[in-house]
Amino acid sequence: MCGIIGYVGNKEVVPVLINGLRKLEYRGYDSAGITVLNKNKLILHRCAGKLINLEQELQKFLIRGKIGLGHTRWATHGKPTRENAHPHTDCKGNFVVVHNGIIENYLTLRKKLVKEGHKFNSDTDTEVIAHLIEKYFKGDLLKATQRAVKDLKGSYALGVISTLYPGKIVAARHGSPLIVGISEKENFIASDVSAILAYTKKVISLEDGETAILDFKGVKFFNSCDREIHKNSRTIEWDPMMAEKGGYKHFMLKEICEQADVVRDTLRGRICLEKGGVFLEEEIGWKKEEIDEISRIFIVACGTSYHSGLIGKYVLEDFAKIPCEVDLASEFRYRNPLLRKGDLVVVVTQSGETADTLAALREAKKKKVKTLAICNVMDSSIAQECDYVVYTRCGLEVGVASTKAFMGQLVVLYLLGLYFAKFRKSLSILRIKQIISALLELPVKIEKTIEMQDIIRDYAHRFFRKSDFLYLGRNVNYPIALEGALKLKEIAYIHAEGYAAGEMKHGPIALIDENMPILVIANQGKVYDKILSNIKEVKARDGIVIVLATKGDRKIAKEVEDVFYLPKTLEILTPFLNVIPLQFLAYYIALKRGCDVDQPRNLAKSVTVE
C-alpha cells in the first residue's frame, strides 16, 4: 500500500530517495517524507499530498548526508496529513521508522507505551514501532528492532535508522514486500525493484520474519530466530527504462501496447505446436495421477484479476472438463469454503500482495488443499506462500489500472487448461493443436488491434461527457464486459456496468435511453444471433450502440453504425482481443476528462489492506 526506500553509500542520499519515491508513488500517494542522517544529526521532512509537495519543500534546504529513508503513503490509520506522514520518530527523535503494512494491535501497544511515559505525535499505527525500538534499545539497533517487531501483530516492511547507531539501516519484513538492493559501496532497501533499478539490478527479497542490517560495505540477514543466515541474490532483467514510460504519455498506454509481447513472453517455452502440447513441468511438474485427482478448481481473486478468473472458469471447464468455481477473495475468506481433498485453489494476482487474496490463500492452506498462484511479481508474498506458482511475464506493471497483467493472466489460465487437457485427454490432440496454433497467432492480431486505436479514440471524443455506460457480453465475453466497465469506472470515474447480455431484459433495459452508450461484444460464434437480438432491443430504446465485431462480418453493419472490427480468431480466444478496445476506450475518455490515468483517485496499485 505504501512505498518505502532506504539508502546507505557514497552518494548524496536525497536525490536517491526522491528518485526512488517517484518510482514508488503508484503504491500510494497521500503524503511523503524523507529522513537523512548527517553525522549524528537527524533531518526530517514530511508533506501531505503528492511527492511534488515534498520536492518543493526540500528545495528550500541544503540537505547533505549519505544515509536516509523515504516513504510515500496510502493512508490506512490516520488521515493523510503531514503529522501522519512517515517517517515517524520516538520521543526524542533518536529513532526513525518508515513502514508499509498495518499493525493490528497498535492501540494496545500505544496505550502501554503511553503508560510507560512515551509521547505520541501522530494517529498512525507506525509510530508505535519507533517507540518500541526506543524502549528496547540497549546500544544495538538491530537487536532493538528484532525485539520490537516481536510485539507487533499484523504486517510490516520496515526501514529504521538512528542517531545512536550511525551509518546503519535496519530492515524487517512480515507480510509486506521488502527487497534489499546490493551494489559496490552502496546498499538499498525498497518496497519493490522499480525504486532502485537505476542503481542496481542485484536484489534479495526479505521473507516473513527476516531482518537485515545494511551499511555501505554490505548487508547481513537474520531469520525469525534472529540467527544470521545466507541469502542468494537474483538479477532483475527489468532495465530502468522499463520502469519509465518509454516514450508513451502514460504507463497505462505503454502497458496496453505491450500486450502482444506479454503474450509472447508468457507463452515462451511453455507451448509447442509440433509436440501438440503445453509444458508447465518446470513450474508445476505434477504426475498424471495428481492431475487426474483434481476434482474441482476454485479460482480466487480481486478486481481485474477476478475478471480473468471468470474467463478461466469457461476455459478450464471447456479444456480440462474440471468443474470450476470463481470467488471474490474478500468473500471466499469469510464464507468457510467447503474445500476437500482433490480441490485445487488457484489465486490470480498481479502484485502478489493483495491482502484479501493473501488471506483467501491462507484460508485454503488451512484446509490443506493444493494452492497455485498466477502472479506477476517474483517472490511476492502470495508467490512465496503458494505451493506452486506460474508467473505471468508482463514485466513491471506501473499503471494502477491493470491491463497487460490481465492479458498475462489469461495466457496462463489457457495454458493451464491445455496442460490439464493433455494429461486428462479431455481434448483431442487435433483440438489442442488448433488452440495452440491460434494462441501463437494472437500477438500479431493483438498488434493489429492496437494499431486501430484511433477508431476508439474517436468514440471516446464523442462520448466522454456521458455519465452512464453499459457493457454487454455473453459466454466467455461476459467477463470482458465486466472488465471494460471496471476500466472506465476506475480511471474516468464514470458509472459503468458490465452485464450478461441475456440478463438485460431482467432489469437493466429500463436504464436505456438516448443518452446511454452501450458497448456490445458481438463476435461471430455460438451466441452471435442472441447478441444480435440484444442489439435490436437496445436500438428500439434509442440506446447508443457501439459493437465489437469480427472482421468480415457483413451482417452487423446493417444493424449498427458504430462497429469496431477485430481480427478473426477462435471464439474461445476472443477475450484476448475484445479487451483491448475497451482498455483504449477507458484510457482516451479518461484523458478527455482530464483524469490522472496512472494514479486514479482513491486507488493504489497494490491493495495490501482489507
352 bridge partner residues: none
Whether residue 433 lies in the annotated active site: no
Q: Measured from the CB atom, is 211 or 606 closer to ligand AGP?
A: 606
The one-letter amino acid code at 547 reads: V
Q: Measured from the CB atom, is 349 or 426 closer to ligand AGP?
A: 349
Is residue 401 near ligand AGP by the rule CB under 6 A? Answer: yes
- The Cα–Cα gap between 216 and 185 comes to 5
Choose which of 303, 312, 408, 498 interacts with ligand AGP (CB under 6 A).
Answer: 303
Choose which of 176, 330, 357, 534 interacts with ligand AGP (CB under 6 A).
Answer: 357
Angle formed at CA 20 by CA 15 and CA 24, multiple of 5 degrees: 145
Q: Which of 135, 168, 370, 605 is catalytic?
A: 605
Whether residue 2 lies in the annotated active site: yes
What is residue 340's DSSP assignment? -
- The Cα–Cα gap between 265 and 177 comes to 25
Q: Measured from the CB atom, is 286 or 478 closer to ligand AGP?
A: 478
Q: How many CB atoms within 10 Å of residue 154? A: 15
Q: Measured from the CB atom, is 94 or 304 closer to ligand AGP?
A: 304
- The Cα–Cα gap between 322 and 281 comes to 20
Which residues, including other chains, have CB under 8 Å from residue 14's CB and lie 6 or more apart? 34, 36, 58, 63, 65, 68
Which residues, including other chains, have CB under 8 Å from residue 290's CB and lie 6 or more apart? none
Choose which of 350, 449, 477, 578 interacts with ligand AGP (CB under 6 A).
Answer: 350
Residue whose Cβ sits closest to ligand AGP:
303
- The Cα–Cα gap between 11 and 63 comes to 13
Angle formed at CA 355 by CA 354 and CA 357, multiple of 5 degrees: 70
Q: Measured from the CB atom, is 190 or 401 closer to ligand AGP?
A: 401
Q: How far is the CB of 486 from ligand AGP (least distance, A)?
A: 6
Q: Measured from the CB atom, is 305 or 550 closer to ligand AGP?
A: 305
Q: Measured from the CB atom, is 168 or 307 closer to ligand AGP?
A: 307
Q: Measured from the CB atom, is 63 or 603 closer to ligand AGP?
A: 603
Q: How far is the CB of 499 from ligand AGP (least distance, A)?
A: 18
380, containing H or E segment: none
Angle formed at CA 140 by CA 6 and CA 219, multiple of 5 degrees: 40
Is residue 182 near ligand AGP by the rule CB under 6 A? Answer: no
Per-residue binder mask for ligand AGP (CB under 6 A), 464-503, x = binder: --------------------------x-------------
Is residue 312 near ligand AGP by the rule CB under 6 A? Answer: no
Cβ–Cβ < 8 Å for 395, 367: no
Q: How far is the CB of 491 from ligand AGP (least distance, A)?
A: 8
Cβ–Cβ < 8 Å for 416, 387: no
Pick the closest to residue 590 from 457, 406, 397 (CA basis): 457
Part of the chain binding ligand AGP (CB under 6 A), chosen from 60-68, 204-212, 397-405, 460-468: 397-405
Cβ–Cβ < 8 Å for 155, 111: no
- The Cα–Cα gap between 378 and 400 comes to 18
Query: Could you tell me the strand order of the sheet in which 324-328 lies?
Result: 324-328, 296-301, 343-349, 370-375, 388-391
- The Cα–Cα gap between 193 and 352 comes to 14
Q: How far is the CB of 406 from ligand AGP (least distance, A)?
A: 8
Pick the closest to residue 170 from 69, 73, 276, 252 (CA basis): 69
Is residue 381 near ligand AGP by the rule CB under 6 A? Answer: no
Q: Output the CA torsion sign for 320, 325, 326, 329.
A: negative
State how far the alpha carbon of 591 is from the alpha carbons of 44, 241, 498, 587, in Å: 36, 24, 21, 6
Q: How far is the CB of 567 from ligand AGP (least distance, A)?
A: 25
Is residue 523 near ligand AGP by the rule CB under 6 A? Answer: no
Is residue 402 near ligand AGP by the rule CB under 6 A? Answer: yes
Choose which of 155, 191, 330, 351 interacts with ligand AGP (CB under 6 A).
Answer: 351
Q: Which of 2, 257, 324, 386 is catalytic?
A: 2
Q: How many residues bind ligand AGP (CB under 6 A)?
A: 16
Is residue 194 near ligand AGP by the rule CB under 6 A? Answer: no
What is residue 515's DSSP assignment? T
Q: How far is the CB of 361 from ligand AGP (least distance, A)?
A: 11
The count of residues in the chain is 610
Q: How far is the CB of 578 from ligand AGP (least distance, A)?
A: 16
Choose which of 122, 124, 304, 449 interacts with ligand AGP (CB under 6 A).
Answer: 304
Pick the closest to residue 122 from 87, 70, 92 (CA basis): 87
Q: Measured from the CB atom, is 68 or 498 closer to ligand AGP?
A: 498
Is residue 354 near ligand AGP by the rule CB under 6 A? Answer: yes
Part of the chain binding ligand AGP (CB under 6 A), chosen from 123-131, 344-352, 419-427, 458-466: 344-352
Q: How far is the CB of 597 from ligand AGP (least distance, A)?
A: 12
> Largest alpha-carbon pair distance within the chain?
81
Q: Output the CA torsion sign for 88, 90, 93, 99.
A: negative
Q: How far is the CB of 400 from ligand AGP (least distance, A)?
A: 5
The one-letter amino acid code at 545 reads: V
Q: How far is the CB of 375 from ligand AGP (least distance, A)?
A: 8
Q: Measured from the CB atom, is 37 or 243 closer to ligand AGP?
A: 243
Choose which of 315, 396, 607, 609 interacts with ligand AGP (CB under 6 A).
Answer: 607
Is residue 305 near ligand AGP by the rule CB under 6 A? Answer: yes
Q: Which residues are catalytic?
A: 2, 605
Tell me which residues touch ligand AGP (CB under 6 A): 302-305, 349-351, 354, 357, 400-402, 490, 603, 606-607
